[in-house]
Amino acid sequence: MLHLFFAVAFSAVPLTLYVPPVRSLNLFIATMEDLFRESILYVEVLVLVVLLSSMQLRWHPHRFGPLDDVLALDLAENVLAGSAER
């Protein structure tokens, strides 16, 4: 049993090298928060375009064409402009 304990303990020691110090962890978290804030606008637009496209396919499967894509992207740009004002 003692051999198993030492085997587990010495195999876990190298894993502690992968844990960053706290001062680096704060910078990492701040960077992730900035990345999240910047990308959320694009994610909202992407979700809106996918939602509008799926609704268009469900309601009018014969009318889904390039013009509808342009209208969906125009609406998405308007939403993005409104989100940027927030």
Question: Which pLDDT tens digits describe the chain residue by residue (86 residues)?
Answer: 888 888 887 877 776 677 667 677 788 888 889 999 999 888 888 888 888 888 777 766 565 555 556 666 676 777 777 655 55
Which are the contacts of 56, defined by CB distance < 8 A and separation ≥ 6? 63, 64, 68, 72
What global pTM score does this model have? 0.39
User: What dihedral angle (degrees, nearest 10) is formed by the CA atoms of 15, 18, 23, 29?
Assistant: -120
- How confident is the model at residue 33, as a pLDDT? 92
Asked if 53 contacts 75 with a C-beta cutoff of 8 angstroms, the reply is no
